[in-house]
């Protein structure tokens, strides 16, 4: 073993990983080949806290692991046969043939797209009503609520508190709120639609480029986490419309 400087600290690395007496080191590709899993599976396993730590190798840009430690880990954590959950994070693992690699159907993805379409239609209906009602409103003498410009009178309201509420929630404010809600929904929808595009690309490279598939799979995981973070937010945006047709109880926060 040699002592080298890495990030300001002394690190022991083997001069020649293959020399006699040194532990055999293997790359991610070799792990996949020797243990009968895909490269994307190995990348998933690497994120587990129990997976062996990589061994730094002088002069190599590849990630290496001790073969004996990896073998022991696979013995303690055998891949689940008949289910490739590594290709669909968390809730989208579906049974497939043991030796078959597949991109499972995006059931959750389709449900998210349905939700976005429904909430968008509610916001569009609110916008239609607000635009038909005019712009800013103001209070007039004689208990009237009127348009901010011109002499158009909207309504006579006797209670001062009710007049103040109506003016504060005039069509102009409603349109501003709709715009803000659409921007929030847009952040969520971007993660959903980018994932749909990504999965189409995953199907294209699944048999031809496993490294690219693994990279896309990791990117999909990031998009899933983004959508999960925003899901409670957009469901709260939908809650005021729970009395409208099409609202589903499983959308409640």
Q: How high is the pLDDT of residue 37?
A: 83
**pLDDT at residue 38, as a whole number:** 80
Tell me the C-alpha distance between 156 and 166, whole Å: 11
Cα–Cα distance measured from residue 101 to residue 86, given in angstroms and rounded to the nearest whole number: 10
Is-contact 147 135, C-beta < 8 A? Answer: yes
What local confidence, expressed as pLDDT, does residue 36 receive?
82
Written in H, E and C, the secondary structure of the chain is CEEEEECCEEEEECCCCCCCCCCCEEEHHHHHHHHCCCHHHHHHHHCCCCCCCCECCCCCCCCEEEHHHHHHHHHHCCCCCCECHHHCCHHHCCECCCCCCCCCCCHHHHHHHHHHHHHHHHHHHHHHHHHHHCCCEEEECCCEEEECCCCCEEEECCCHHHHHHHHHCCHHHHHHHHHHHHHHHHHHHHHHHHHHHHHHHHHHHCCCCHHHHHHHHHHHHHHHHHHHHHHHHHHHHHHHHCCCCCCCHHHCC
Residues of the chain with pLDDT under 50: 1, 3-7, 11, 14, 16-18, 81-102, 141-142, 153, 156-158
Rounded-to-integer distance, Cα 134 and Cα 153, Å? 11
Residue written as tokens 């954590």? 77
Q: In what order do the strands lie in the sheet with 153-156?
A: 137-140, 144-147, 153-156
Give the global pTM: 0.53
What confidence score (pLDDT) does residue 52 get? 93
Tokens standing for 199? 């999965």
List C-alpha distances in Å: 231 to 93, 115, 203: 20, 10, 26
Rounded Cα distance between 149 and 170, Å, is 13
Q: Are 196 and 113 in contact (CB under 8 A)?
A: yes
Partner residues linked to 4 by β-bridges: 11
Residue 57's pLDDT is what?
Answer: 86
Summarize pLDDT for 131-154 with one digit per residue, the tens: 877 766 555 544 555 565 655 545
What's the pLDDT score for residue 92? 42
Res 140: pLDDT = 54
């Amino acid at each position: 073993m040699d002592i080298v400087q890495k990030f300001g600290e002394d690190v022991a690395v083997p001069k020649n990983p293959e020399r006699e007496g040194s532990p055999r080191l293997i790359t991610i590709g070799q792990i996949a080949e020797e243990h009968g899993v895909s490269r994307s599976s190995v990348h998933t396993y690497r994120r587990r806290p129990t997976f062996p730590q990589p061994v730094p190798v002088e002069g190599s840009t590849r990630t290496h692991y001790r073969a004996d430690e990896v073998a022991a880990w696979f013995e303690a954590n055998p891949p689940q046969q008949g289910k490739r959950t590594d290709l669909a994070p968390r809730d989208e693992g579906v049974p497939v043939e043991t030796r078959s690699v597949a991109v499972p159907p995006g059931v959750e993805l389709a449900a998210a797209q349905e939700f976005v379409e429904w909430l968008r239609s509610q916001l569009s209906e609110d916008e239609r009503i607000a635009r038909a009602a005019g712009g800013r409103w103001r209070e007039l003498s004689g208990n009237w609520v009127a348009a901010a410009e011109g002499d158009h009178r909207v309504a006579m309201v006797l209670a001062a508190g009710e007049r103040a509420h109506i003016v504060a929630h005039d069509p102009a404010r409603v349109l501003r709120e709709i715009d803000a809600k659409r921007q929030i929904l847009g952040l969520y929808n971007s993660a959903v639609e980018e994932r749909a595009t990504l999965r189409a690309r995953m199907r294209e490279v699944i048999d031809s480029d496993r490294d690219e598939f693994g990279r896309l799979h990791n990117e999909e995981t990031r998009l899933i986490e983004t959508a999960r973070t925003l899901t409670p937010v957009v469901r709260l945006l939908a809650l005021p419309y729970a009395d409208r047709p099409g609202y589903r109880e499983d959308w409640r926060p």
